């Protein structure tokens, strides 16, 4: 088993919460992990990404080679495109469709969506709206994880356990909301893949 995943977003959007939940799931599944993160200057509203590698075999490189990612999981539509050189021929792109506009030259969102739709395999999901429906826009990253989960070779129940572990401290209501967010994301992807 091997999943090479690029996580993408904008500094401050909290893509690392997705990595943490996935990391917990992978650990519970007895898998090996390497995960390169972006720290430092670009966290100040710049483009941020993480290379997450999960495997049952030893992993050498901390970085995913170009053209080798099984999945690009982006919480922002334009950012999803920035990492296309990493996507493999059979890879999936899963992205939130809500733009994060903090630059004056942000492109026309329709043009961005057009580029996404050109790909052979993608899921474009309105994670913010779904998150609002389950209780809070804060759960939007877990909607995204749910939407990506069909393309990650980890048992879904392990991902649910991961969420229980990381949100456990915050009480049952928060756990349940995030689990619901996860399931709704997954359901959307299953119906639209």
Binding site for other proteins (CB under 8 A): 10-11, 23, 27, 30-47, 51, 57-69, 78-79, 81-82, 84-89, 102-103, 105-108, 111-112, 115, 119
- Tell the smallest beta-carbon distance from residue 25 to other proteins (Å): 12
CA dist 173 and 5 (Å) reads: 29
On the CB side of 67, CA atoms within 13 Å amount to 1
Burial class (CB in 10 A: 0-12, 13-18, 19+), 131: buried
Nearer to other proteins, 121 or 183 (CB): 121
Residue 42 Cβ vs other proteins, minimum distance, rounded to whole Å:
5
**Between residues 88 and 176, which has the closer beta carbon with respect to other proteins?**
88
* Rounded distance between C-alpha atoms, residue 66 and residue 80, angstroms: 15
Nearer of residues 11 and 185 to other proteins, judged by Cβ: 11
CB of 191 to other proteins, least distance (A): 25
In 10 A of CB 34, how many CB atoms? Answer: 17
Nearer to other proteins, 69 or 143 (CB): 69
Please report, for residues 72, 115, 135, 172, the alpha-carbon distance to residue 7 in angstroms, rounded to integers and kept in the order given.
6, 18, 24, 27
- Tell me the closest approach of the beta carbon of residue 174 to other proteins, in angstroms: 15
Judged by beta carbon, residue 69 or residue 130, the one nearer other proteins is: 69
Q: Smallest distance from the beta carbon of 103 to other proteins, in angstroms?
A: 6
């Amino acid at each position: 088993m091997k999943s090479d995943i690029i996580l993408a977003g904008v500094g401050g959007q909290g893509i690392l919460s997705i990595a943490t939940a996935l990391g917990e799931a992978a650990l519970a599944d007895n898998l090996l992990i390497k995960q390169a993160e972006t720290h430092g200057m670009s966290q100040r509203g710049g483009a941020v990404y993480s290379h997450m590698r999960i495997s049952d075999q030893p992993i050498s490189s901390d970085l995913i080679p170009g053209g080798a990612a099984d999945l690009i999981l982006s919480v922002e539509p334009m950012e999803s495109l920035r990492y296309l050189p990493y996507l493999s021929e059979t890879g999936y792109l899963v992205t939130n469709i809500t733009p994060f506009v903090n630059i004056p030259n942000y492109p026309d969102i329709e043009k961005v969506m057009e580029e996404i739709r050109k790909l052979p395999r993608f899921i474009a999901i309105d994670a913010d709206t779904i998150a609002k429906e389950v209780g809070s826009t804060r759960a939007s990253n877990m909607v995204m994880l749910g939407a990506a989960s069909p393309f990650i070779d980890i048992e879904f129940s392990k991902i649910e356990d991961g969420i229980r572990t990381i949100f456990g401290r915050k009480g049952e209501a928060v756990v349940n909301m995030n689990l619901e967010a996860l399931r709704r994301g997954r359901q959307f992807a299953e119906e639209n893949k």
